[in-house]
Amino acid sequence: MSEGWIGVDLDGTLAVWEPGQDIGTIGAPIPAMVERVRHWLAEAREVRIVTARVATTCKETAGGLDDATFAALQEYMIYKWCRLHLGRILPVTATKDFEMIELWDDRAVQVETNTGRIIGRHLCR
């Protein structure tokens, strides 16, 4: 039986993202997150990249590509980035499922289970 998987956002969490950055590039690795991911992998934990880059329902794509082609190109870029900076390719998805046990994301706001109470800091109220 699976112990579940850990989701890690790409842009702004695992890789540097700057406003106005070209979607055709992936930023430099963020050392603290790369080290964290490497630690989980060394513990034989399953880690997946969770990113809208591979969503097939995007409203904007680069170069007039259809959504599926754009997503496939993004997935390939992410695989190359993972191989270079993590030493292996990680699965890439745009969706959560019931096996996901954690999501590490620079935009997420954590809420307490079944209460809606916010845990930690957030920008919107």
Closest CA to 15 of 68, 84, 72: 84
Q: Structural domains in the chain?
A: 5-119 (3.40.50.1000)
Distances in whole angstroms, Cα of residue 26 to Cα of each of 3, 14, 72, 79: 30, 10, 15, 11
Closest CA to 50 of 4, 99, 104, 8: 8
Distances in whole angstroms, Cα of residue 16 to Cα of each of 22, 31, 70: 12, 10, 21
Question: Can you give the pLDDT of all 125 residues of the chain as single tens digits?
Answer: 469 999 999 999 999 999 999 889 999 999 999 999 999 999 999 999 999 999 887 555 556 677 888 889 999 999 999 999 999 999 999 999 999 999 999 998 889 999 999 987 766 55
